[in-house]
Amino acid sequence: MSTQKVICRKPFREANGDSPEGVEGAIAAEQFQLVDKAGRIRAVLTMEDDQPGLFLFDEEEELRASFCLDEGGEPYLDMLDKGEITRAVLWVKKGESSLNLCDEEGMIRAQVYASGDDEGHGMALIDKAGRLCVMLGIGEDEEGSLEFIDEKERRRSTVTLVEDDDVKPNGSN
């Protein structure tokens, strides 16, 4: 008996006629439920709003993770804590990707992002009020910067990289 080990690739066999005799090549349904020996639902593969989704549950049948496509067909992975509060979201959308980390109330507190165009890449830190506080990034000029933003959403301090020729005496620029 052959085993199939697939990581981040299509986990199914192409229709090439290699199924054992009497075994169908595919099973079709709108929903599959995986249950444990006690009959508790541990995973659901389903169609929701015309998009596929995989939902994983713990032993108390609380949702802990979902991997879905949004209404535009873009993938996202949502991870939840024991209270079913979103704690991390990873998504890819129109050439961009982002990892959002959330606090115990589900508010985004940190975000790492990579842009699909020349806007740049970076990391943002957000306070409990939902305001951007710190931004670390690489801009369209491919230079790094660190920005500090106050409670009125004003940039208070910015640190950028400069060429050695551009540095003035006593650190003034």
Residue-averaged pLDDT of the chain: 82
Q: Is the pLDDT of residue 47 over 50?
A: yes
The mean pLDDT value for 105-132 works out to 88
Rounded Cα distance, 21 and 138, in Å: 57
Which one, of 157, 152, 144, lies nearest residue 136 by Cα?
144
Q: Which residue has the higher pLDDT, 37 or 21?
A: 37
Rounded Cα distance, 56 and 46, in Å: 11
Question: Is residue 16 a part of any domain in this protein?
Answer: no
* pLDDT tens figures, 85-109: 999 999 998 888 999 999 999 999 9
Question: Is residue 77 a part of any domain in this protein?
Answer: no
**pTM, entire model:** 0.73
Question: Is residue 145 a part of any domain in this protein?
Answer: yes
Q: What tokens appear for 124 in the block?
A: 């943002």
Angle at 68 between CA 95 and CA 39, to 5 degrees: 160
Question: Is residue 161 a part of any domain in this protein?
Answer: yes
Q: What is the pLDDT of residue 16?
A: 53
Question: Is residue 123 a part of any domain in this protein?
Answer: yes
Cβ neighbours of residue 120 closer than 8 Å, sequence gap 6 or more: 137, 138, 139, 140
* pLDDT tens figures, 130-158: 999 999 988 777 788 888 998 888 888 88
Question: Is residue 150 a part of any domain in this protein?
Answer: yes
The mean pLDDT value for 72-79 works out to 93
Question: Is residue 134 a part of any domain in this protein?
Answer: yes
Phi and psi torsions of 169, nearest 5°: -55, 150
Question: Is residue 9 a part of any domain in this protein?
Answer: no
Rounded Cα distance, 140 and 98, in Å: 18
Q: Which residue has the higher pLDDT, 38 or 10?
A: 38
Domain that holds residue 172: 103-108+117-173
Q: How many domains does the chain have?
A: 1
Q: Residue 11: pLDDT band by 50, 70, 90 thresholds?
A: very low
Rounded Cα distance, 131 and 134, in Å: 9
The number of residues making up the chain comes to: 173
Contact predicate 112/95, CB 8 Å? no
